[in-house]
Amino acid sequence: MGATALVIGGSGPTGPFIVEELRARGFRVSVLNRGVHPYPFPDDVERIVGDPHFAEQMQAAVEGRTFDVTVATYGRLRVTSQVMAGQTGHFIGVGGCVGYRGFVDPRENFPTGLMLPVREDAQMAEAGDHEFEQQVARAEASLFNAIPGATLFRYPYVYGPRQVTPREWSLVRRVLDGRRSIVVMHGGMTIFSHIYSENAAHALLLAVDRPEVAAGKAYNCADDQQVEQRQLIEIGARALGVEMELISIPQVEQAQRALIQPVPYHFMGDVTAIRTELGYRDIVSAPEAIARTVLWYRDNPLEYGGEYEQRRKDVFDYEAEDKLIAIYRDYVAAVEAVEFRPLHENYAHHPYAHPKQHRQGRDERGR
């Protein structure tokens, strides 16, 4: 009889990769979820129906069972960790980066926003901060209170097939609808940590392989390379065989309904710990992963106006977007019409000296 593993969740973007890699490591795998989004796992994977959001239902589903490893990618960490305490060896939980103070409301910090990169020991939310931040911070604390030797992975945005809020669909649908301009905020220069689903599963499984190192630790996760929103659109557009014009708007809340990424500030988690302690490296590079994701949604389009589109909060109002595009072009034309006085002839063409011969005192200015 091999070692046993319980995967709580399993049918989301990372779940199939986790299940398959556990099987490859010789584990007998059981998957527990509500059964709402079935996935065609191999016949040797046990299905357990239970709701990991509520202790009573969760406890009834695993009553009398023990597992060598539990991987909780879904449900409430407070519930799953308390129920599985004493019923599992290594507990690996998945949370998010929302618990960092200022993640949701950057005004909580000075200077505004998060100082980058954000380390695992950065200040967590506390009383008076945004309620969602506090909930995530409390969930992390309850996990380690219930199981001190647990491992926590703080996932950023996870992208890939079967995402419940797929950012790539905002690009793909516009391309399918014949649009060749897309609205972005601040030139599309925002950077927000993300990780491809296969890479996220790989990161988590490193703790399965090295439990003695990962016990009691929290790790940030992210692709080795991060892209700006502008670069994301460029990569996706090339994969789809088109070019997209970026229409840059300022930070205006009303216009955020037309944006792939409405968050107007940066977040980048420090991934030094997972790289140095567990040896993390991407399985799939970010450009390749983005291209794969875009092509998957092209070939598996979402229902227009359906549940997943509504989760995106992207209303695809092309008439309104055309008005923004017209405003943008008028603004660009107005800026181009402003004349500045020419540079003085003595202004350096380069800020550093490039002397043509040795001189006493100050070098001649580079020209």
Is the pLDDT assigned to residue 293 strictly greater than 90? yes
* pTM, to two decimals: 0.93
Alpha carbons 246 and 252: distance in angstroms, whole number: 17
Is the pLDDT assigned to residue 271 strictly greater than 50? yes
Is the pLDDT assigned to residue 356 strictly greater than 80? no
Amino acid (1-letter code) at residue 151: T
- 9-57 pLDDT tens trace: 998 999 999 999 999 999 999 999 998 878 899 999 999 999 999 999 9
CB 62 within 8 A of CB 87: yes
| Least confident span in 87-96, 111-120, 312-321 | 312-321
